[in-house]
Amino acid sequence: MRVCLLASGSKGNAIFVESDGVRLLIDAGLSAREIARRLALIDVCPDSLSAILVSHEHTDHGRGVGPMARRHGLAVFMQRETFEAMPRLGVLSQLNHFRCGETLEIGAIRVETFSLTHDVAQCGFVICSEEGRVGIATDLGIATRLVSQRLRQCRVLIIESNHDELMLRDGPYPWVLKQRVKSQHGHLSNEASAALLEQLLWPGLEAVFLAHLSETNNCPALAESIARRVLDAETPCEPRLVVGTQDEPSACFIT
CB 185 within 8 A of CB 119: yes
Burial of residue 53, with CB atoms counted within 10 A of its CB: 0-12 exposed, 13-18 middle, 19 or more buried: buried
Which residues of the chain carry a pLDDT beneath 70? none
Structural domains in the chain, sorted by start: 2-254 (3.60.15.10)
**Half-sphere exposure at residue 173, Cβ-oriented, CA atoms within 13 angstroms:** 20
Angle at 243 between CA 241 and CA 246, to 5 degrees: 160
The string of pLDDT tens digits covering residues 45-102 is 999 999 999 999 999 999 999 999 999 999 999 999 999 999 889 999 999 999 999 9
pLDDT at 31: 97
Query: pTM of this prediction?
Result: 0.96
Beta-strand ranges (E) seen in the chain are 2-7, 14-19, 22-26, 51-53, 75-79, 95-98, 103-106, 109-116, 122-129, 132-137, 156-160, 207-211, 240-243, 253-254
> Cα-Cα-Cα-Cα dihedral of 77, 240, 228, 42, to 10°?
-60
Asked whether the CA dihedral 232, 233, 234, 237 is positive or negative, the reply is negative
